[in-house]
Structure 1
Amino acid sequence: MNKLIDIHDEEHNILSLLPYSVCAQLISKNQKLADLYFMKSIIDFSINALELFLAGKLMLFDAQVGENLCQIRAYKILNLAQKWLCSPIPKNQFSQEIELFRKHKEHLEHIIFEWENTIKHSKTYNKSLDSKENIGDFFARQKLLIPLQDDFIFIIVCYFLSHFNIRENQIPVAINLEYISREFHISKYRSKRLTHKYQQLICTLGCNFIIKIAHELPERYGFVNMLPTLYKTADEDRAVLPCYTVSEIILYHSIKEQLPILFVTHQLTEQKKHLQPHKVIYFLLAKTQNNNEFSLVPTKNFLLDYCMVVSGEVHYKENSSIESPQEYINRVLWQTPLKLILANTASHPQYSGKKLEALRDNPFQCMELGHDVENIKMHEHNLINMQQFALTSGCTKQNPSLFFLRHIYSSSIQEEISQLEKNYTGPVLEAYQVINS
């Protein structure tokens, strides 16, 4: 288990933000200068990303990655917000890290100025300028190799893959490579390489995060021994873990850490060519003093808190009557929102993409049972039961009659409710108020 984490926990530095291997060769002075310019653009972008995170704009860190799971990124960003933004000392430390970035930028600008002048006056071969050089050695020679914590790498990369994504119905679905090329003054090929590297980085860091928080849960859940085998490499060499198991770990951990969940449902009627919106109903789930589990709570007591937003919809057939908000809320609470989230993640492909297609529905089927046979069989049984529940209860794309999950991301509770009320033309209702009015 620890070996797995060690393999993927690399020491990062500023070169981790460039689309090259550490052994990449720079073959001319002009290429070296071009990469100094490129690094400056990356540093500028990184400073902006860190400042936005410090300001608590978590919704801007909703990255597009492809087959990897949005709940991993959402929950890691939420944990980073809890770590850095919720008390004065770490928040001040985060500000100091941004200042180090600014000082690094100043040093880089000085190096660029020197290189521009030297190249301008260089008429003959100059070994210091013109010789082939490993990119790591080159940046080290310029004293530009600053170390970077995983936290800051993750935040910067998340912002990049959010800022440059293309959205459909507020959900990230692709990356705009042309936009990246314009912003960084690089070719589309290099934009694609940069995106690919960032997506690999975010997947590896995200999966390692899930493995680490699984160690913080009670041993009886049986996650720790399974995860090394469930950890796979999918299409595009991206690290992945199965959807349902990841979601279980996240929900158990969020309860343990008392990190609230905002469960949002859009009521929609199926028309011939579109879905007609009616109401939005949101449920805030959090721990209370008298309850060790999550329960429905009033948002007014938690407005300044950060949360994980789980957004989905319920569909009604055309010409059918729409249940009252009270009736729908009772249906959700009867099953519990957390169970509905897990049902959706059970019905979702456990691994996506072509490489792991054989494990799409059941990641446990090819596992070597060994001494952990009872634990593996238990998790497989739980997954199959939850898949069946999803089909019959209305938690699938084919049957979205109770709750069909669309997206998971992080935000502040106040910001998310404000956005719902601003962007939605129909009524936006709080479940707690409806049932207690």
Structure 2
Amino acid sequence: MKIKALAAALCLFTLPVTAMANTELVDKTRQAQQVQKAHNAEREAGFKQTEKEIRAQLNALKAKKKQLQQETDQLSETFSDNENKLAQLEEQLRLETGSLGELFGVVRQSAKELDSEMEFSVTGADRHAFKDVVEEVVEAKALPSLSQLTALWQGMSDQITASAEMRKVTVPFINGEGYQSDVQAYRLGSIGLIGEQGYLAWDGKRQVATPYLKQPEHGPLFGTLSPLMDSGIQAAVVDPSRGIMLEQLANTPELKDRIEHGGVVGKIILGLLAVGVVIALFRGIKLLVIRQQIKSQLKTPAQPGNNPLGRVLSVYDKEQNRSVEALELRLLETIVDEQQGLEKGLSMLKLLAALAPMLGLLGTVTGMIETFQVITQFGNGDPTVMAGGISMALVTTVLGLIAAMPLLLAHNVLSTQAETIRNILEKQGISLVAAQAEQAGSAA
């Protein structure tokens, strides 16, 4: 019973404690819900504020887009109007400047011709007043102004006036050693410059004068023109081609240059020609002396001298006591010996005459080989590159023919002279044999 009563008492005590605990839990739960609700309300207010701001920005962007679209439409319309106006203005400009365009083309062409004339002509050595204006007209993209046209006309007039003048000028000069100095020269209109060395080549781009490699014979000099200018007489030999003929004069080779073009083979051919000429002259003089001696010997046959015919007559005097056959053989032997002396050197002349064209052909082949090598290395676009081999090929052939013809002619002439002398000796020998035969017949 006591236990039951104790248990009942405990139950009665526990109930108020549990009730109190539940009440505290409910209060805490409510507080937590209130805090959560307040937090949610705060977050919801923030979301609404953000949505409001974003919507305001969206509206602002839409308004700006609309404004930009209106401005774009307005600019497009303005651009179209400007395009139309520009097309109308261009058409109007084309119609109004039709004839002026043709005039502008003529002006530019005239300016180009004048600029070229002032650049390469010797008149540019002392006249530069209108060169800048002329260059402006040449490079202009629009119609020239009145001042430019006036300056162009003045430049053309000045150029015409300069082409008729003969005056003293000071020009930059580069000598053969490469040193530059200012020298005085006479300008002959627009044709040429004459300095102390003769004609001067004018370089309009560099604005300097250089001497020509070769001057014409009896060409004018600065010193010879000065007295003429002081006396009022203006006369000089001129090159109407403005230097082209003077440049070609330097390219005209002399005999020494042609020999140099022949190379080693050409010099060998000339050496053979010299040897042949010496032999021909020596043998020609020798045969001429022998003919004179024979002519004198024919006048005095009884007195044999120191000459071919005299030696033949000496054989006859020594062989009178022998038979006709023996005398004939002795005379034939003497004539053969004399013939060898008469024909001495003629075989060498014949050999040289035959060898010279062969050497010329050798030089030709060598020159063509060099030409083909140059063509292989550099192509055949520039003929001056091949000039060396071609010159050697042609010059050696010419030298070979030039050497062969006089040598062959000398051999023929000397052979004829030797043959004539031999015939005289044979004729005299036959006459001596006939006289010996007559004496032998009379004695029998």
TM range (shorter): under 0.3
TM-score (norm 1): 0.18
TM-score, scaled relative to structure 2: 0.18
- The structure with more radius of gyration: 2
Q: For CA contacts below 8 A with separation 6 or more, give which structure has more relative contact order.
A: 1
Greater strand share, 1 or 2? 1
More helix by share: 2
